[in-house]
């Protein structure tokens, strides 16, 4: 099948050169063969062919809440504008989970054992917790939907032969036997096939023309990475930087106006600071608070009155 345009033709020729080099390197017997293959794929395939706002690296992923680290990840696709990684060189580093969009496990030859190991690695990564990155107008964190890291497998070869079984069908046997679900979202085998989980079915593209499967794989990443990134919003980098230490309150810097708030359910009263973002406004009536009653969970509101706010502060 002829390429639709020169853009696709250039990508196909670039992929051909890189995969040939990576396959040649994978046949070497000296130590560090996989490192050489990863270096080729990172520097000559994924970094040049993915959009410039997608960082490409290798290393471990960290969770802020517990500080736990993942196992070594072959290739990590990340958005450094969310929470930047700590890099030891151009590619290797520690990556906050909030910034990681995709992980790619690279296999020289994919077999059932390697696929099972990749599944367990993806399963552990799925247990990582994320910082929320969305705030209301008063700076309070809001709970929101977060799309987790997409774990995928990229292989130079496979031990599957013939057309009796696809990679998706083989993987389905693995996670079904474990009474689990597919933590791996996509599998690409060079010069054979690309399959992905569309959240209901596995969809498989076979290799009709040279490197169709890798074009489809890269296209799948470029079509979805922004959706994953946007779901993370803007977590505070300081959560990773500021140590967990005890702090004490010092001298008062200003007087904060508070009002009496009454629970509409149990009549418990509180002294609360009303916040209005950065608005200059006057409210005639009662003030309603977002925080629920700590006693019963009921709604809190103030007495009727005239409340003036300047730059969001009650005066």
Q: Where in the chain are the domains?
A: 14-241, 259-314
What integer pLDDT is reported at residue 2 of this predicted model? Answer: 53
Task: State the DSSP H helix or E strand holding residue 46, giving kind and residue range, or none if neither.
Answer: none
Range list of β-strands (E), the chain: 55-62, 73-78, 86-87, 92-96, 100-110, 134-135, 141-142, 150-158, 184-189, 193-197, 202-206, 259-263, 269-272, 281-285, 288-289, 300-302, 305-310, 313-314
What integer pLDDT is reported at residue 4 of this predicted model? Answer: 63
What integer pLDDT is reported at residue 290 of this predicted model? Answer: 83
Q: Strand 288-289's sheet: what is its strand order?
A: 269-272, 259-263, 300-302, 288-289
Q: What is the pLDDT along the chain (315 residues), one digit of tens a residue?
A: 555 678 888 999 999 999 999 999 998 867 678 889 999 999 999 999 999 999 999 999 999 999 999 999 999 999 999 999 999 998 999 999 999 999 999 999 999 999 999 999 999 999 999 999 998 877 889 999 999 999 999 999 999 987 778 999 999 999 999 999 999 999 999 999 999 999 999 999 887 788 999 999 999 999 999 999 999 999 999 999 988 777 788 887 877 888 999 999 888 999 898 888 788 889 899 999 888 888 888 999 999 999 998 888 888
**DSSP 3-state helix, strand, coil percentages of the chain (rounded to 5)?**
30, 30, 45
In the block, which residue shows the tokens 């993370």? Answer: 232
């Amino acid at each position: 099948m002829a390429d639709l345009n020169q853009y696709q033709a250039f990508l196909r020729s670039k992929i051909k050169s890189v995969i040939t080099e990576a396959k040649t390197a994978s046949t070497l017997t000296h130590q560090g063969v996989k490192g050489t293959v990863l270096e080729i794929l990172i520097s000559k395939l994924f970094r040049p062919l993915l959009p410039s706002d997608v960082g490409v690296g290798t290393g471990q992923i960290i969770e802020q809440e517990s500080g736990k680290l993942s196992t070594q990840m072959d290739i990590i696709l990340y958005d450094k504008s969310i929470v930047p990684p700590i890099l030891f060189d151009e590619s290797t580093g520690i990556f906050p989970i909030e910034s990681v969009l995709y992980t790619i496990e690279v296999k020289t030859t994919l077999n059932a054992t390697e696929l099972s190991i990749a599944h367990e690695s993806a399963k552990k990564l799925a247990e990582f917790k994320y910082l929320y990155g969305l705030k209301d107008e008063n700076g309070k964190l809001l709970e929101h939907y977060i799309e987790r890291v997409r774990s995928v497998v990229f292989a130079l070869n496979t031990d599957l032969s013939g057309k009796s079984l696809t990679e998706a069908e083989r993987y389905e046997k693995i996670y079904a036997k474990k009474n689990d679900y597919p933590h791996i979202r996509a599998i690409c085998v060079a010069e054979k096939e690309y399959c992905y989980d569309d959240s209901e079915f596995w969809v498989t593209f076979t290799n009709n023309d040279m490197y169709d499967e890798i074009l489809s794989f890269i296209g799948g990443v470029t079509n979805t990475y922004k959706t994953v990134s946007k779901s993370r919003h803007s977590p505070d980098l300081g959560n990773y930087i500021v140590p967990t230490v005890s702090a004490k309150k010092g001298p008062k810097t200003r007087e904060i106006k508070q009002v009496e708030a009454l629970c509409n359910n149990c009549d418990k009263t509180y002294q609360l600071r009303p916040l209005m973002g950065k608005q200059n406004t006057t409210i005639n009536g009662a003030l309603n608070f977002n925080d629920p009653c700590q006693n019963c969970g009921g709604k809190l509101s103030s007495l009727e009155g005239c409340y003036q706010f300047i730059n969001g502060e009650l005066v």
